[in-house]
């Protein structure tokens, strides 16, 4: 049986455009060699190829690893939410009805979420539709707690979305309906931490949203304009704020009897704030000071294994026939490694949104703790440590299918530091060379690929002012096969995406792909 190693260069897309392209600007001798001399193609990692509504939608690591790991295309994220809202199915469910009844008389319905149309974590139109329905069903008081984007959209576009929301609220307000923006802050500073990386971010959000404890302003617009002048940072890094009334009191603290909707549909950055709302007195991540008795609801269930949150509005896809399930039938031993920022992607998302292992005896996972600093301050991140672990695992002969994720291209790509992005790509390329050497010595096969684009577009392409672009892209990503004897492997002609990878891996193991999967990228 062959041994196969798969490397995901997270956020490394391919484009001919040189402007702002950290991949082209970097010294990538190993990637260049692979794409010149070994079987390779470019595959799609966005839009309908990963289950998102349209091919204008950027891919992301969650839907990307779902697609790689299950060999199929499932409706994902925004598409699930969009379908539920457009059909009004979301308002027919028992959760919505219970939520509305919980606070219908005298209490407040709160919305917390990312305020943009980036369509990666949330969409402002979903918020607007729920606001309309809340008023139609007799809710009398609404408060919105906004998380500013600047990452999946232009980095200083927050005021555009605030103006849209303020206009919407103004159109709804009357003698029977009172709605306002109550608090907020940048997504990388307030509320939206992930993978237990920095709970202080969640604590800051809790204080602002729940306790009304943050710097006070008369409006969200005043807060944003003030912070921009004082801090010289982009939207995603703006500090927390609360909006106050004429008596300098917060307009939207969350209290007993209120209902709360966290309207983000992407999972990773919604879990920790959900835990803060639902955990019992044993919660020890920070001092919550006051824990209101509320009905807390997520747009989706962010962690199905641990039932977080208990209540949610949109049912998730049921992902079946994953690659790990199939390989387990043949006794294929698996190893997965990454650092904290992407550890969940090579495990939880890869295995179809399952936190538990599919087969305890056949699967081994290793997590390397990420540094708690801004990613452009150390662009190499943990790429060397990941590589050390992976090479040790290859040499151990304990595993048949090994995989890792290098987060550098994505996490540093989300900053506006072009030089750091180049360094990040070079770190990945250098360690890719180390893995190639280990695979060659082992006589096994290596797949090199990415899950979506990012670092290849560090500047907006519609101007030449070097305006930073911090979001993902819709560019294709590389798919490369490396090894000593590849004479019998041929890349097929076709329009392939991430979901074609599972069948390809099966082919390399000389096992028949699951009939539910999309076809293999290779002939063998």
Which active-site residues does the annotation give?
61
Distance CA 44, CA 335 (A): 26
Considering only CA atoms, which of 278, 335, 337 is closest in space to residue 312?
Answer: 278
Cα dihedral across residues 229, 233, 236, 241: positive or negative: negative
**Straight-line distance from the first to the last Cα atom of the chain, in angstroms, rounded to the nearest whole number:** 14
Distance CA 197, CA 98 (A): 33
Rg over CA atoms, the chain? 23
Considering only CA atoms, which of 165, 147, 426 is closest in space to residue 262?
Answer: 147
Task: Answer yes or no: are the C-beta atoms of 207 and 290 closer than 8 Å.
Answer: no
Residues in the chain: 524
Considering only CA atoms, which of 499, 474, 478 is closest in space to residue 119?
Answer: 474
Distance CA 265, CA 302 (A): 8
Tokens 């992930």 label which residue? 194
Q: How many CB atoms lie within 10 A of CB 32?
A: 11
Distance CA 90, CA 96 (A): 7
Q: Which two tokens stand for residue 206?
A: 């809790």
Q: Which two tokens stand for residue 153?
A: 């959209």
Q: Which two tokens stand for residue 417?
A: 């530091």
Q: Which two tokens stand for residue 193?
A: 């931490």
């Amino acid at each position: 049986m062959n041994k196969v190693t798969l490397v995901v260069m997270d956020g490394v897309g391919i484009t001919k455009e040189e402007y702002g392209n950290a991949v082209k600007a970097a010294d990538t001798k190993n990637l260049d060699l692979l794409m010149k001399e070994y079987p390779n193609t470019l595959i799609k990692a966005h839009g309908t190829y990963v289950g998102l509504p349209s091919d204008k939608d950027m891919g992301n690591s969650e839907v990307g690893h779902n697609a790689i790991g299950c060999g199929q295309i499932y409706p994902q994220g925004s598409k699930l939410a969009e379908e539920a809202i457009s059909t009004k199915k979301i308002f027919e469910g028992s959760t919505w009805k219970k939520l509305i009844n919980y606070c219908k008389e005298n209490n407040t319905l709160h919305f917390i979420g990312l305020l943009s149309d980036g369509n990666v974590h949330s969409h402002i139109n979903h918020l607007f539709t729920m606001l309309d329905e809340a008023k139609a069903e007799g809710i009398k008081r609404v408060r919105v707690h906004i998380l500013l984007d600047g990452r999946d959209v232009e980095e200083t576009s927050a005021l555009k979305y605030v103006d849209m929301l303020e206009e919407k609220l103004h159109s709804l307000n009357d003698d029977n309906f009172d709605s306002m923006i109550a608090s907020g802050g940048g997504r990388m500073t307030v509320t939206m931490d992930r993978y237990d990386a920095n709970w202080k971010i969640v604590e800051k959000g809790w204080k602002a949203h729940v306790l009304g404890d943050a710097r006070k302003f008369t409006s969200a617009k005043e807060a944003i304009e003030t912070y921009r002048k004082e801090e010289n940072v982009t939207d995603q890094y703006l500090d927390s704020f609360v909006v106050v009334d004429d008596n300098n009191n917060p307009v939207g603290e969350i209290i007993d009897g209120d209902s709360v909707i966290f309207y983000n549909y992407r999972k990773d950055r919604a879990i920790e704030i959900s835990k803060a709302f639902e955990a019992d007195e044993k919660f020890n991540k920070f001092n919550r000071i006051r824990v209101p008795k509320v009905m807390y609801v997520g747009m989706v269930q962010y962690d199905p294994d641990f039932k977080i949150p208990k209540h949610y509005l949109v049912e998730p896809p049921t992902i079946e026939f994953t690659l790990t399930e199939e390989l387990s039938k043949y006794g294929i031993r698996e190893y997965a490694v990454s650092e904290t920022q992407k550890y969940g992607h090579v495990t939880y998302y890869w295995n179809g949104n399952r936190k538990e292992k599919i087969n305890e005896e056949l699967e081994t996972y290793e997590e390397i703790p990420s540094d708690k600093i801004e990613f452009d301050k150390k662009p190499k991140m943990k790429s060397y440590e990941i590589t050390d672990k992976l090479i040790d695992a290859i040499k151990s002969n304990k595993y048949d299918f090994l995989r890792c994720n290098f987060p550098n291209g994505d996490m540093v790509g989300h900053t506006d530091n072009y030089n750091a992005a180049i360094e990040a790509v070079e770190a990945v390329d250098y360690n890719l060379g180390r893995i190639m050497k280990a695979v060659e010595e082992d006589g096994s096969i290596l797949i090199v690929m990415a899950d979506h684009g990012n670092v290849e577009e560090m500047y907006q392409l519609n101007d030449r002012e070097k305006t930073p672009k911090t979001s993902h892209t819709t560019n294709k990503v590389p798919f490369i096969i490396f090894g000593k004897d590849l004479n019998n492997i041929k890349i097929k002609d076709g329009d392939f995406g991430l979901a074609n990878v599972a069948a390809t891996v099966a082919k390399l193991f000389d096992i028949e792909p699951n009939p539910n999967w999309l076809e293999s990228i290779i002939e063998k």
